[in-house]
Chains A and B, each alone.
Chain A
């Protein structure tokens, strides 16, 4: 059978969501940011809340997220996305609001805003892309950089005695009473992408319940910053990032998951 007999509108099973603009993504080849953008937009489309959602982009490689997501968006100063989202959601409680932040943004310069928004139980969704590094500025060490991990500012590897420990923001915010749903996912295989999408969907559906903040970490590659091919970076991520940042739900329906 010829592919021309298969490629017909009635046989369509997957196409790029219209919630993404036509612009080419500014991300490096193979970067997880692109997958998470797409999943977030697919979820809004499936929940039919595209018109009722406001996103807050942050500073980092995803600073231009509003160019790619075809929805109402704003862009907050570095680290302040959850503060901006707090204002938007409180003024407009019927809207669905989310932030989209990297680990440099959320776990370094924005630590105070992140922790207090989580603790206050603001009723929005945080999408947190943890690639263990400052991608945009050239691969410097982030608070999330693994012990021993090389970065442009730790060329011999992160030395914990000198540079301190990496921080697990997701486990930390799960301890706060204001978080309702806290999970860690990845988007490097088809199965993981499908799981991550379910998590993002729950994180948006929860906003209807008004029970607190939903926090979705995605452990993702920064293949440019890690100086690997996209395929190798995903293998490295499985071998090195996941043992330190284990995937799975940490808090569901306001209750810590006991493993």
Chain B
């Protein structure tokens, strides 16, 4: 069966570090490096486990700030 592989691009300056994407990612891909903040002072998210992303878009769908762009391919 074809497997889906995904990737997420974080618009870092838009992210407010609310973590709703993190808890709604079924694959545990996203995390928040609390030590890194954007110009507004928010700690932003990043793909901690990029290999596990399926491109399901759940993270982008729950993000209130339109931070995430999702890409997906069949492998």
Contact = CB atoms under 8 A, between A and B. Distances in A.
Binding site secondary structure of chain B: mixed
A8 to B, nearest CB: 7
A14 B64 contact: no
Contacts of A5: 73
A34 B5 contact: no
Interface residues of A, number: 36
Interface string A18-52: 00100011011111111100100000000000000
A32 B70 CA distance: 21
Interface residues of B, number: 36
Contact of A6 (B5, B19, B20, B63): B5
A167 interface: no
Interface in B20-50: 20, 23-24, 40, 42, 47, 50
Given A6-B7, A8-B71, A193-B61, A24 B55 contact: no
Nearest to A16: B66
Contact of B72 (A11, A15, A229): A11
Interface of A: 1, 3, 5-8, 11-17, 20, 24-25, 27-35, 38, 187-190, 193-194, 229-231, 234
Given A29-B65, A190-B58, A231-B18, 7 more contacts: A14-B69, A16-B66, A30-B64, A190-B24, A190-B57, A193-B62, A230-B20
Interface of B: 5-7, 9, 11, 13-14, 16-20, 23-24, 40, 42, 47, 50, 55-58, 60-66, 68-73, 75
